[in-house]
Chain A
Amino acid sequence: MSQRIPLAWLQLKHEKMKLFAAVAGVMVSVVLMWMQLGLMKALFASAVVFHGSMNGELVIVHSQYEHLLHSKVFSSRLLYRLRGSPDVSDVFSIYLAPGEWKNPWNGEMRSIQCYGIETDNASLKLPGIEQHLLQLRNTDVFLYDRMARPRFGDVVGAVERREPVELELNRRRMSLAGVVDLGASFGVDGNVLVSHANFLRLFPERKSGEIDVGVVKLMPGISVVSAQKQFQKVLGKEVQVLTVEQFKELELIYWRSATPIGIIFTAGTVVGFFIGFIVVYQILYTDVTNHLPQYATMKAMGFSDGYLYQLVLGQSVQLATMGFIPGSLIAAAMYAGLRKVTQLPLYMEPMRGVFLIFATILMCTFSGMLAVRKLRSADPADVF
């Protein structure tokens, strides 16, 4: 039995305040779910900005490497074996270590992540890095992370005011050559890029050629997977050859287990889901209860249970739609605002949208199905 009069919609529309409350409930729920999932994704994404900026397809790290803060060095001589391969366009090496940053304004010491990179070719794909590479070859200069946390001092402000910035890094006088965008994350509050030579000056205990990360840029058209297998064989068990995605995943695996971020935001999403669920359930349940005599009458007249279920579930789907659209618009505005303030990579990703459409419909359908159970108590024999 299909409905030729839009009963579901007419019933929703009949009580405007209730409709408004239900739609607002779904909206709040949708906004919450967007925010929680978006923030979770953004926080994790911020942990792999460095990984994603590799100017190559394969990454080589020590076999015991776990994540950026738990690295182990290996000899860069291993990389020379790859330079001869016709599949390889370029190979870069990167040193990394946490350095001691002295805030030039208040003298506080802070730990900052330092990367020693090659300066004749860009080993990192960061916007604007090329223009600084030449300067970076000078003695005791560094590039600063524009998106580092403010606790390192107002370096960006000084750059904008065109003031020279000089400060102590690992008790060594350094001067600023420019800024790039990398961003803070869980374990890292900010980043500094220096040349290999300057890195070894900053960290005299580190030996030249004992690197942390190797980056391999393949010739165009070379299969990444087969190159990975081949290089792993050539280099042996001391190192692991990873794709950029695997390199990122290794970092994420660590942070997922080391921080409760995943649990917190997943819980937040579930809370959002339940808020919507309960609001919609309440509204539909009272609606069914209020109309019980009418529904019993319809049953008596020969309308099937299915017809009435369809009526209630139709209302749930309509509430889902009406809440989802404005909820998503609000979320988009909040994403834009937060992106500006926190520099977090918050974007309305289509896949998340699809997921949330399903979550919202599921949420409303669940409430509808629960409310519909009340219909069973509409006994058509009672209307007489």
Chain B
Amino acid sequence: MKTDDSKAIITGAGINFSFGQGELRKQILFDVELAIQPGEIVLLTGPSGSGKTTLLTLIAGLRKLQEGRLDVLGHSLHNASQADLLQLRRKIGFIFQAHNLLPYLTALQNVQVMFDLQPDVTIKEGRERATRMLQQVGLGERMNYHVSRLSGGQKQRVAIARALVGRPELVLADEPTAALDGTSGREVVNLLQSLAREQKRPILMVTHDVRVLDIADRIIEMQDGHLTASSRGSSSAENHPAKGVQNEPDIANVTL
């Protein structure tokens, strides 16, 4: 694995990606280049169909890289094996638009399940960490509720607890506020931001919810498969661990 910047946790260059074959082939990503530093909160915005979710699935190791170079958390994704991708995904905390919690489990059990991915964590420790995590997201009182009895915002908070409890090296979030009303969406994003800051976890979040842009250190915009602009988010004025960011140009990658 080689990266341009040894500190960056995600580096990519020359990424092209298409769906379909032959005449139906439709290119989604064009020569994308990006770098994300440790501890950074980066928002990826742009109109629907601009390719931001596709880029996210590539970074997550959920799709096979077709062209270009992409290194995530020390894994080179070019020609990576399924087993390697699985290992990568275990280091990532995922938050989805749909929470997709297991409906037959309680909030606590949904979070605890994550420790099946980390066999070295004992059952007792797993339960304690899951409990603390749920208290942090404000669900200490409802840990033993089945998720069907929780509201949309509460479910998304369980999903955040589930994503962070395993101490991931990177958090990927896809429209985490899309299914929520303004207030719950705000709460969820604030929570995500404060937890990420506390745990020094980098976040890459796809969103077109303009109400939450202020949590970002950096905002990357996408249009028709191109990264068009990168601007410093309002949050970057505050001190945060990723010093490297400030030394770099604001416009990280602009292509075509």
Contact = CB atoms under 8 A, between A and B. Distances in A.
Interface in A294-336: 294, 296-298, 300-304, 307
Interface string B101-138: 11111000100111111010001001000000000000
Q: Is the interface of A mostly helix, strand, loop or mixed?
A: helix
Interface stretch (A10-18, A125-133, A272-280): A10-18
Contacts of B96: 297, 300, 383-384
Interface stretch (B5-13, B52-60, B66-74, B187-195): B52-60
B221 interface: no
Given A4-B115, A383-B98, A384-B174, A300 B60 contact: yes
Contact of B62 (A294, A303, A304, A384): A384
Interface stretch (B35-43, B86-94, B245-253): B86-94
Given A1-B116, A302-B90, A303-B116, A384 B57 contact: yes
Interface residues on B, range: 20 to 34
Contact of B104 (A4, A14, A298, A302): A14
A380 interface: yes
Given A5-B105, A384-B57, A301 B117 contact: yes
Interface in B176-207: 206
Contacts of B174: 384
A293 interface: yes
A11 B117 CA distance: 19
A300 B56 CA distance: 12
Given A1-B117, A5-B116, A7-B113, A301 B94 contact: yes
Contacts of B92: 301-302
A297 B100 contact: yes
A297 B56 CA distance: 15
Contact of B102 (A2, A15, A294): A294
B63 interface: yes
Contacts of B53: 384
A3 B117 CA distance: 9
Contacts of A15: 104
Contacts, number: 79
A5 B104 contact: no
A282 to B, nearest CB: 19
A5 B94 contact: no
B56 A293 contact: no
B100 A293 contact: yes
A351 interface: no
8 contacts: A1-B116, A5-B109, A7-B113, A293-B98, A301-B114, A302-B90, A384-B60, A384-B206
A172 interface: no
Nearest to A290: B103
A291 interface: yes
B101 A307 contact: no
B86 A304 contact: yes
Interface string A9-32: 011011100000000000000000
A341 interface: no
A300 B104 contact: no
B104 A381 contact: no
A19 to B, nearest CB: 11
A10 B63 CA distance: 32
Given A10-B105, A294-B101, A301-B89, A384 B117 contact: no
Contacts of B113: 5, 7, 298
Contacts of B109: 5, 10
A10 B104 contact: yes
B57 A14 contact: no
A307 B102 contact: no
Contact of A2 (B57, B94, B101, B116): B116
B100 A294 contact: yes
A120 to B, nearest CB: 76
B115 A7 contact: no
B116 A3 contact: yes
Contacts of A380: 62, 89
